[in-house]
Amino acid sequence: MTNEELVCIYQEWNSKEALNQLIKQNMGIIYKLANRFYIEGTNSIDKDDLIQEGVIGLMKAAKEYKTDVENSAKFITYAVYWIYAKMNRYMRQKNTNEETSLNIPVGENSENELLDTIEGVDYGFENIEDKIYRKELREELNEVMHEYNTLREMEVLKLHYGWDNNKNMTFNEIGEVFDITGQRVRTIEAGALRKLRNSPWGKEKAKKIYVDKKEDIYSINDFINVEQFKNKYLDEVIGG
């Protein structure tokens, strides 16, 4: 049975059998994503627990997926969103490895990190400024992706560029997750990037690149193409 058929049975009849079958036939995807998150030597992270978080994400997707929406995304696209989100949250909560332990949120609203509260260490104003810039830009980019990209396009971009410092996945690896070719993934990404570049946000950012380059011999549309836009706002920012 297809994922969509199993989800329909699960939602309509609360069938544990259908849910178990759904989990079973998608465990390969959960394993693939877990392997992208898991880092050997990070003692605070248990791979089995990480996989379990992926299962919980899949179950959440099965519960929330809308089967009666016309032209809705395939279930697996929706499921990857929840699997990724659950694993990412788990990693952020549990990763107390020595290299990242200073990034623990502190304060009533968790707005600051432990690193920010340490006195007597000069990390340089430029580094702090760059960190703030990248954080704000990622937040902007996330909002724009939600507005102008489809769910699958967002997932392709996040998996390929390593959103939130996660490992980058190749086009072929992403294709295995969505059961499509690597070339098809490349095409999806190209379309997603064009949408971002041509959005009002993208056009404004392109102007800033144009001004910074100070190249007056080209028009802004010719000079700031999708590739240059990608290099500036995805390669440098999305994973940092």
pLDDT tens, position by position, 9-38: 999 999 999 999 999 999 999 998 988 877
Confidence band of 45 (pLDDT split at 50, 70, 90): confident
Mean pLDDT in residue range 75-95 = 87
- pLDDT at residue 116, rounded to an integer: 43
In 3D space, the residue among 223, 174, 178, 218 whose CA is nearest the CA of residue 203 turns out to be 223
Return the half-sphere exposure (C-beta side, CA atoms, 13 A cut-off) of residue 25. Answer: 15
As beta bridge partners, residue 106 has 112
Q: Looking at per-residue confidence, does 119 or 66 come out higher? A: 66
Same CATH fold assignment for domains 1-120 and 122-240:
no
pLDDT digits (tens, 9 = 90+) for 221-238: 544 466 676 776 776 655
Task: Give whichever of 68-82, 102-116, 144-158 has the largest mean pLDDT.
Answer: 144-158
Size of the chain in residues: 240
Domain 122-240's class? mainly alpha
What is residue 191's predicted lDDT score, i.e. its pLDDT? 92
Domain boundaries defined on the chain: 1-120, 122-240
Regarding the domain delimited by 1-120, which CATH topology (the fold level of the hierarchy) does it fall under? Rna Polymerase Sigma Factor; Chain: A (1.10.1740)
Residue 135 has pLDDT above 90, yes or no: no
Q: pLDDT-based confidence at 40, cuts 50/70/90?
A: low
- Residue type at position 17: E
Helix (H) or strand (E) holding 206: helix 200-213
Read off the pLDDT of each residue in 200-204 and give the average, rounded to a whole number: 87
Measure the CA angle with vertex 154, ends 30 and 90; round to 5°.
Answer: 40
In 3D space, the residue among 37, 29, 36 whose CA is nearest the CA of residue 77 turns out to be: 29
Which of 87-91, 128-132, 140-144 has the lowest average pLDDT?
128-132
Written as one letter, the residue type at 29 is I
pTM over 0.85: no
